[in-house]
Structures are given as structure tokens and as C-alpha cells.
């Protein structure tokens, strides 16, 4: 290549000087003309009107071409400082979104309280709609029970994933009203999702503080009374509400055009779809096995919790736990830990061993298909798409492990006579590490082979 060719293809030249070919292919959909917010002309400092495109005094143009992508790196390649990043949060719409979603969540919680509690005055004194709002965000609750002769205290986690339906439903309308149209880029969508999640979590923390209940109840005529203190863990409310709010808004606003803008956006969308589809498949499989009278619930030591009313809760929770197991993550089921070693050194029935083995095969197949899709979509020689996918997937699995833990200690079980002590779930750190390694290996196999190519 001679010097003239080098000049003609200079990175600052948009068209070739030889044949007029476009050198820099940029999608104009990612750029817009935007009016400066300054009320004075940048050149002559004359006062200008908000509707003016040109300065009436000197003729200076008052509009600039700006990127819709809202990158953290500006056109000069310099990193934007923290102050500039914070300015991009849409505080007003963030407050509107979180406030409306909490309002809808309160109404839903009030309806649930009326349906479940009814006219039971004693339970109404303890449980109010705010408590149901906090329960639906899977927050840990602290209970202190004072009896005539002794007292007991315990922390309880009700990480029932089915409860997440309430926050998810409450976010749908606010997102469409206040967030959908202002998210013009993936980075801006992430920032706005963070802003909504932070405000959503902070409000719930305040509600957790003011909703602490301490009541004295009577157990009957000439019977001793007892006192109950109920309060929610501030740290648990903050972390779980933030994660739930962020993931809800982020997943709702994933647009197809973001995939062209950022490889992370496209792969994150694939990771979310992978977990959702896998969860549904496992849920369908468990439901079919139950109707086929294969009693895997009894083998896992959960038969006492699977009445006709609670069966849906148990199966929906098991689907998440068994998918984690299929990723080689050890899962605690109260009666013991189910891990890959359980298929070799255990007294499990042949039916349950076949179920667990089939889930492992299913997960391997899903990751191989995902790897093929990544290769077909990104066609890269390196394994960067696979690493990004495994990272996104592992983080989501870690979040599931964090919020889905169910724990009722011996003290709590003695207070709630209808329940027995139990612990179910998996460690979120171990879950992230193992799911990252496993998904990386299996997805890489599909990425390299790409049997659909």
C-alpha cells in the first residue's frame, strides 16, 4: 500500500478519495441532532431561545450531533468521570417507575391479605400488606416469641420463587409508562435500571423499618398470653429488593437493536432466555413425573410439604434447585445434600437417579445448542462470546441461589407448630463458580463444533 492509499483510507476520512466508497460504516440510527441546554451562545455568549437552531447574533449552530449509545468513553477516547455518569440517570422517571410499582405491589398485597387472612383479627395484627410486599421480595424475617416461661428467636427465609410474580407484575405498567421510550441505548437502559432498582430498594428498606410489629396475644380463656416481635432484616431487604428490581427492569427492556450496539447486550439476552427456557423445561418434566406417580418429592424428603395446596409451590421451587444440580451445583434439601456424588454413593431409587441423570444430559444439550448459536451469530475466531455468556449466566445463577434460599430453624419451627425445620437451596458463591466453569466447558464444545453450521 503506497502513502497516497494510506491517506485516502485515513480513519478520519469518511469516503475514499479514489472511488468514493464509504470507509467508516456507522449506523446513523445511533446518532441524533440534539439541542444544547445552554441558554447562551457558545461563541458570542448572546442570549438564545430554547427553540432557536442558530444564534440570531452570530449565526453559530446550536445543535450538535450526539451518540444515542451513551458510551462511557467519549469521541476523544477519554473515560467519562463518575459525575458525568451519574448525570445520565433519569431521576424523575426513575422515581415515578419505582413509586408506581410499589403502589401496585401494595394493592396486590392488600388483596392477598384480604383473601388469605380474612377476618382473623389476631393474624391481622401481625401481618399487614407491607409485610406481604417484603415477603414477595424474598426478604429475611426475624421473629422473637416470648412465652410465660421462656422465649425463642429465629431468622426465617421464605425464598419461594413463585412470590416473585408480584414484583414482576407490578413493574410491567410503570416500565411501559416511564422507561420504555427514554431507553435509547443499552448503556442508558442499564443506568436507568440501576436507578430504579436503587430507589425501589431504599423505599422498601424504609418500609421494613416502619413495619416492625410487636404485639401481645392471648391463647384462650384463662391461658397465658404471648408476645410476638416481627421485623425484616435491613441488609436482606436492601440486597434482594435491589437485585429483583434491577433484573426485572433490565429484562423487560432488552431490545433487539441493543444487540447491534453491544455484544454484551445480545449475549446477556441469550443467558436470560437460557435460564428461563431451562427452568420451564424442568418444571414441565417434574409436573409430568408427578402425574405419572413417580414420587421424587418423597425421596427428596419433602413429602410433608407437598399437600394439594402447596404442591405447586414445592414443584416450582424444585425446578430451580434441580436445574442448579444439573449444573453440578450441590443443593441442600434439608434431609441431605444432593450432588453429583449422590448418583454414585447414595441410597436413591433408580427412578430418582434416572431423573437426575436426565437433567444433567438436558443441561449439557442446552449449553451445546447455545454454543452453536453463539458461533452462528458472532462468527468469531476467539472464545470471547462464550466467556461473556458464561459470566452473565453465572451471575444470574448466583442471584437465584441468593434469593431462593428457604430456611426455618429449630426455634422458628417450635414457634410455628404447623411447620418443621428445614433448609433448602444452594450457596450463591459456589453456584456462580461451578456454573461458570460448567457452562464455559459445555458451551465451548458447541461453539467449536457448531453442528448446525
User: What is the pLDDT, as a whole number, of residue 19?
Assistant: 57
pLDDT above 90 for 172: yes
pLDDT above 90 for 300: no
Measured between alpha carbons, how far apart are the two ends of the chain, in Å?
36
pTM: 0.77
pLDDT confidence band for 22 (50 / 70 / 90):
low
Instruction: Give the number of C-alpha atoms closer than 13 A to the C-alpha of residue 54, restricted to the C-beta side.
Output: 5
User: What is the pLDDT, as a whole number, of residue 221?
Assistant: 42
pLDDT above 50 for 255: yes
More confidently predicted of 158 and 303: 158
| Mean pLDDT over each residue of the chain, to the nearest integer | 79
pLDDT above 80 for 51: no
* % of the chain exceeding 70 in pLDDT: 72
- Is residue 241 within 8 A of residue 201, CB to CB? The reply is yes
Mean local confidence (pLDDT), 6-18: 53
**Chain center to CA of 357:** 28
pLDDT above 50 for 282: yes
Q: Which residues have CB under 8 Å from 208's CB, separation 6+? A: 134, 139, 231, 232, 233, 234, 237
User: What is the pLDDT, as a whole number, of residue 79?
Assistant: 43
More confidently predicted of 38 and 128: 128
Mean local confidence (pLDDT), 241-255: 93
User: What is the pLDDT, as a whole number, of residue 374?
Assistant: 93
pLDDT confidence band for 4 (50 / 70 / 90):
very low
Mean local confidence (pLDDT), 171-192: 89
Amino acid at each position: 500500500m503506497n502513502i497516497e492509499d494510506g491517506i485516502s483510507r485515513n480513519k478520519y476520512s469518511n469516503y475514499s478519495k479514489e472511488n468514493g466508497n464509504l470507509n467508516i460504516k456507522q449506523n446513523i440510527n445511533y446518532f441524533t441532532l440534539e439541542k444544547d441546554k445552554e441558554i447562551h451562545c457558545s461563541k458570542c455568549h448572546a442570549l438564545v431561545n430554547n427553540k432557536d437552531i442558530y444564534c440570531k447574533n452570530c449565526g453559530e449552530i446550536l445543535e450538535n450531533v450526539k451518540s444515542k449509545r451513551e458510551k462511557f468513553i467519549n469521541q476523544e477516547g477519554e473515560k467519562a468521570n463518575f459525575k458525568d455518569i451519574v448525570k445520565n440517570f433519569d431521576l424523575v422517571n426513575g422515581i415515578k417507575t419505582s413509586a408506581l410499582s410499589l403502589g401496585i405491589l401494595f394493592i396486590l398485597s392488600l388483596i392477598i391479605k384480604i383473601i388469605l387472612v380474612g377476618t382473623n383479627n389476631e393474624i391481622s395484627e401481625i401481618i399487614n400488606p407491607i409485610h406481604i410486599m417484603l415477603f414477595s421480595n424474598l426478604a429475611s424475617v426475624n421473629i422473637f416469641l416470648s412465652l410465660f416461661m421462656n422465649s425463642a428467636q429465629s431468622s426465617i427465609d421464605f425464598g419461594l420463587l413463585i412470590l416473585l410474580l408480584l414484583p414482576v407484575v407490578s413493574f410491567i405498567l410503570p416500565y411501559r409508562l416511564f422507561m420504555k421510550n427514554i431507553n435509547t441505548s443499552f448503556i442508558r437502559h442499564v443506568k436507568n435500571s440501576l436507578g430504579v432498582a436503587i430507589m425501589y430498594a431504599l423505599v422498601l428498606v424504609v418500609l421494613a423499618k416502619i413495619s416492625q410489629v410487636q404485639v401481645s396475644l392471648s391463647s384462650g380463656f384463662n391461658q397465658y398470653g404471648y408476645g410476638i416481635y416481627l421485623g425484616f432484616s435491613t441488609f436482606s431487604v436492601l440486597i434482594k429488593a435491589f437485585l429483583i428490581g434491577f433484573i426485572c427492569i433490565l429484562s423487560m427492556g432488552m431490545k433487539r437493536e441493543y444487540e447491534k450496539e453491544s455484544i454484551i447486550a445480545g449475549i446477556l439476552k441469550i443467558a436470560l432466555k437460557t435460564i428461563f427456557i431451562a427452568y420451564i423445561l424442568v418444571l414441565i418434566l417434574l409436573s409430568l413425573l408427578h402425574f405419572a406417580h413417580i414420587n421424587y418429592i418423597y425421596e427428596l424428603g419433602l413429602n410433608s410439604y407437598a399437600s394439594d395446596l402447596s404442591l405447586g409451590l414445592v414443584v416450582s421451587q424444585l425446578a430451580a434447585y434441580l436445574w442448579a444440580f444439573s449444573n453440578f451445583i450441590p443443593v441442600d434439601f434439608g434431609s441431605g445434600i444432593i450432588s453429583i456424588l449422590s448418583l454414585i454413593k447414595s441410597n436413591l431409587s433408580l427412578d430418582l437417579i434416572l431423573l437426575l441423570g436426565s437433567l444433567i444430559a438436558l443441561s449439557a444439550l442446552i449449553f451445546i445448542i447455545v454454543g452453536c448459536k453463539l458461533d452462528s451469530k458472532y462468527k468469531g475466531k476467539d472464545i470471547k462470546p462464550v466467556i461473556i455468556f458464561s459470566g452473565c449466566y453465572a451471575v444470574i445463577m448466583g442471584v437465584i441461589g441468593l434469593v431462593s434460599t428457604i430456611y426455618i430453624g429449630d426455634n422458628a419451627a417450635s414457634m410455628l407448630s404447623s411447620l418443621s425445620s428445614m433448609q433448602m437451596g444452594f450457596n450463591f458463591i459456589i453456584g456462580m463458580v461451578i456454573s461458570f466453569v460448567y457452562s464455559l466447558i459445555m458451551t465451548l464444545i458447541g461453539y467449536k463444533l457448531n453442528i448446525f453450521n
